[in-house]
């Protein structure tokens, strides 16, 4: 099974389908990551604040998958935006993961409510880390257009943001693309919070028409509209199911129907008001 690669604005390529590990403890994360690597995922999305980088690193080491076949993302936490803290942040992340280099390092949140514009300093630090070879690519997460406008130097390769059928952020995606920034979808299934995107009648209807599961329908929608997508699961059958999405294609009408489910409601925090 070959996962399509997306080329970022710095020439780095990223597998369009990856594996998320938020809300999985360090001790619990090893088996799901091993399972994901066995199934064929080659892109793992973690973060310092998830507290599971050691476990992710253990699974990578045990898997035997060659480092150059893997794409590993981690993220700098909000309390570490000052340059010296950011450097400690990436050094700890690399140590815990057991890696010499990340493929992608993101500023996790702009965190303006709590830390003002410190994220601007963090962006300068990330560019230094890239120049030093500590990461191949650098980007941001949860950044608004106004945040992006304040950054100096390179354009971030990626903005990782909440996107799923009931919160597709279609206009924002296009604005990011127009700036050369690739949108990456977090909580791509809606994080299974109520009301669950997997239970939406339109999603279930397309699942019946296509023989796909509701999760597969949503993952196909992300892939077909060009999102990078990183579903999380700790359930072996679902880890397989979420990767088994390359033998089917939604029709343009089905894609449009899913894009039309925008409720305007996030499942996660609003980057403009998040106070952590
Ligand atoms: N940058 C950020 O601020 C940010 C924020 C949120 C998330 N993320 C990243 O995005 C990744 C994915 O987002 P997420 O973890 O919030 O949520 P998600 O991937 O949208 O949904 C995960 C939930 O869906 C369930 N699930 C997975 N596959 C399923 C299937 N085939 N059928 C039914 N249920 C299924 C999982 O259950 P089980 O695990 O119990 O199987 C879990 O409850 C995260 O893990 C993280 O890496 C980043």
Whether residue 66 is contained in a domain is answered as yes
If you take atom 32 of ligand 1, which residue's CA is the nearest one? 215
Is residue 216 in contact with ligand 1, taking CB distance under 6 Å?
no
Whether residue 50 is contained in a domain is answered as yes
For ligand 1, pick from 48, 141, 142, 186 the residue to mutate: most ligand atoms within 8 Å of CB. 186
Is residue 104 in contact with ligand 1, taking CB distance under 6 Å?
no
In which domain, by residue range, is 187 found? Answer: 5-193+226-233
Res 1 pLDDT > 80: no
pLDDT of residue 205: 98
- Band of the pLDDT at 207, cuts 50, 70, 90? very high
Whether residue 212 is contained in a domain is answered as no
pLDDT of residue 192: 80
> What's the average model confidence in pLDDT over 210-224?
98
User: Which atom in ligand 1 lies closest to the alpha carbon of residue 189?
Assistant: 20
Is residue 242 in contact with ligand 1, taking CB distance under 6 Å?
yes
User: Which atom in ligand 1 lies closest to the alpha carbon of residue 108?
Assistant: 1
Res 194 pLDDT > 90: no
If you take atom 9 of ligand 1, which residue's CA is the nearest one? 186
The CATH number linked to 171 is 3.20.20.100
pLDDT, tens only, 163-184: 999 999 999 999 999 999 999 9
pLDDT, tens only, 103-157: 999 999 999 999 999 999 999 999 999 999 999 999 999 999 999 999 999 999 9
- Band of the pLDDT at 51, cuts 50, 70, 90? very high
Is residue 160 in contact with ligand 1, taking CB distance under 6 Å?
yes
User: Which atom in ligand 1 lies closest to the alpha carbon of residue 75?
Assistant: 1
For ligand 1, pick from 78, 143, 189, 270 the residue to mutate: most ligand atoms within 8 Å of CB. 189
CB atoms within 10 A of CB 91: 12
Whether residue 54 is contained in a domain is answered as yes
**Global pTM exceeds 0.85:** yes
The Cα 198–Cα 143 span in angstroms is: 26
The residues annotated as belonging to the active site are: 50
Whether residue 158 is contained in a domain is answered as yes
Q: What is the DSSP letter of 266?
A: -
Is residue 52 in contact with ligand 1, taking CB distance under 6 Å?
no
> What's the average model confidence in pLDDT over 39-59?
98
Is residue 231 in contact with ligand 1, taking CB distance under 6 Å?
yes
pLDDT, tens only, 69-87: 999 999 999 999 999 999 9
pLDDT, tens only, 5-45: 999 999 999 999 999 999 999 999 999 999 999 999 999 99
Is residue 235 in contact with ligand 1, taking CB distance under 6 Å?
yes
For ligand 1, pick from 45, 74, 169, 187 the residue to mutate: most ligand atoms within 8 Å of CB. 187
- Band of the pLDDT at 236, cuts 50, 70, 90? very high
Whether residue 272 is contained in a domain is answered as no
pLDDT, tens only, 251-272: 999 999 999 999 999 999 999 9
Whether residue 24 is contained in a domain is answered as yes
pLDDT of residue 249: 96
Query: Half-sphere exposure of 13 toward its Cβ, with a 13 Å CA cutoff?
Result: 9
Tally of domains within the chain = 1
Q: What residues contact 162, with CB distance under 8 A and at least 6 apart?
A: 142, 169, 185, 186, 187, 266, 267, 268
Q: What residues contact 245, with CB distance under 8 A and at least 6 apart?
A: 17, 212, 216, 219, 220, 223
Whether residue 55 is contained in a domain is answered as yes
């Amino acid at each position: 099974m070959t996962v399509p690669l997306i080329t970022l604005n710095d020439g780095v390529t990223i597998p369009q389908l990856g594996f998320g590990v938020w809300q999985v403890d360090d001790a619990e994360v090893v088996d799901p990551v091993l399972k994901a690597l066995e199934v064929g995922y080659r892109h793992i999305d973690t973060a310092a604040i998830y507290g599971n980088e050691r476990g992710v690193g253990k699974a990578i080491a045990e898997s035997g998958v060659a480092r150059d076949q893997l794409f590993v993302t981690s993220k700098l936490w909000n309390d570490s935006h000052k340059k010296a803290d950011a450097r400690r942040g990436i050094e700890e992340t690399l140590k815990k993961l057991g890696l010499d280099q990340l493929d992608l390092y993101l500023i996790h949140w702009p965190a303006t409510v709590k830390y003002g514009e410190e994220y601007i300093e963090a962006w300068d630090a990330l560019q230094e880390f890239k120049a030093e070879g500590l990461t191949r690519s650098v980007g941001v997460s949860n950044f608004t257009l106004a945040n992006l406008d304040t950054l100096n130097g390179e354009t971030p390769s990626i903005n990782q943001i909440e996107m799923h059928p009931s919160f597709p952020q279609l206009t924002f995606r296009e604005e990011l693309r127009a700036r050369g920034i690739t949108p990456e979808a977090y909580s791509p299934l809606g994080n299974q919070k109520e009301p669950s995107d997997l239970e939406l009648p339109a999603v279930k209807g397309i699942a019946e028409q296509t023989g796909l599961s509701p999760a597969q329908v949503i993952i196909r929608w992300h892939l077909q509209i060009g999102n990078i997508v990183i579903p999380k699961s700790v359930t072996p059958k679902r880890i397989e199911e979420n990767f088994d999405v390359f033998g089917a294609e939604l029709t343009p009408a089905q894609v449009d129907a899913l894009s039309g489910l925008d409720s305007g409601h996030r499942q996660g925090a609003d980057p403009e008001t998040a106070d952590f």
